[in-house]
Structure 1
Amino acid sequence: MIVDLRLVAARVARGDDAAFRQIVEHTRAPMYRLAARLVGDLAEAEDALQEAFVDAYRALREGRYDGRSKVETWLYRIVTNACLDALRRRRDTPREASTEPRFDGLVSAEARVALRELDALLAALPPQERAALVLVAVEGLPAKEAAAALGCSEGAVEQRLVRARAALRARQIEKEAPHV
């Protein structure tokens, strides 16, 4: 069943609080995947996603979604911002040992290992470069949608991608170089 999320968002804006559940149900999986890839920690991703959905609900109720972009693109921006905030908090405060996610049974051991490997690769990137790379190279968003999600121009997204890829190549070369 195809759901027109713009119509659902309009219902939420008019006071139909129950309609927000449709938005969450329709977008939860890709938004959680994005959050997990951006922060590299499943529990932190869950927290960032919950924060993002609360922010989205408030924004809809306050009329701050204008309908010019797809609801999914708008949510990508909110989730990305919540994740960037989480990364800043992580940088500014000592990080406790990671706990297992509360999404019992939904994440396989292979997915956890892959997420750790991806996080290790992306950890050295500045948050904005990491976000651009995840949105475009991992999530498959076109540069235009990634720009909307990041609140910048397409050119800025392309520039961040070039810098991120160069940093990853340099890291790979460094890793492969013989140690003397």
Structure 2
Amino acid sequence: MSDEIDLEALDAYLMSDDSPDDCMMLSDLDGFLHGVVCSPVPIPQDEWLSAAMGERATKLPPHILEIIIDLHEDILDGLTLPEPEVEPIFWEAKAGHVIAMDWCEGFMDAVALRPKEWLRLTESGADGHLVTPIMVHMMDDNGHSVMGIPHEELQQVLAEAADAIPEAVTGIYQFWRSHGQPTA
């Protein structure tokens, strides 16, 4: 990831009272942008920006808008390298383990922009597993795994899945490109 992107300024803005009430936070936004870049079809910037930043997306401070667009471009650049680089922004718990749930929810929010188009991957017998590390982090309204992972195994499975996300994102991006989908 580019060291020139001021993630601290973006995070501070997203957590401030100046940000739109319905905007994503940094980890969600990063996951969302990865999902947008990996999309099977291009998603117009105005659409994904409104989905991520809410109704006031058109009124973002110019420097914040620039950071968000730079982050999107940085993700795309990382995935198009000969040796793809994916560096998700996960939260870290006080105990030291990563929390990837918000990032994964953001990614799935991007999938929800074009759910029918994603079916070709998710229902693929050969490549559908690529979304598993992301789906493992999805919980129902009662805090239970949507994939049926027993509660006593959940923390270990979540940790392993978080470690697998960069490779999964690379695989998803390459799946769509190998099936003739244009680059975001």
Scaled by the length of structure 2, what TM-score is found?
0.31
Structure with larger RCO (C-alpha < 8 A, sep 6+): 2
Scaled by the length of structure 1, the TM-score of the pair is: 0.31
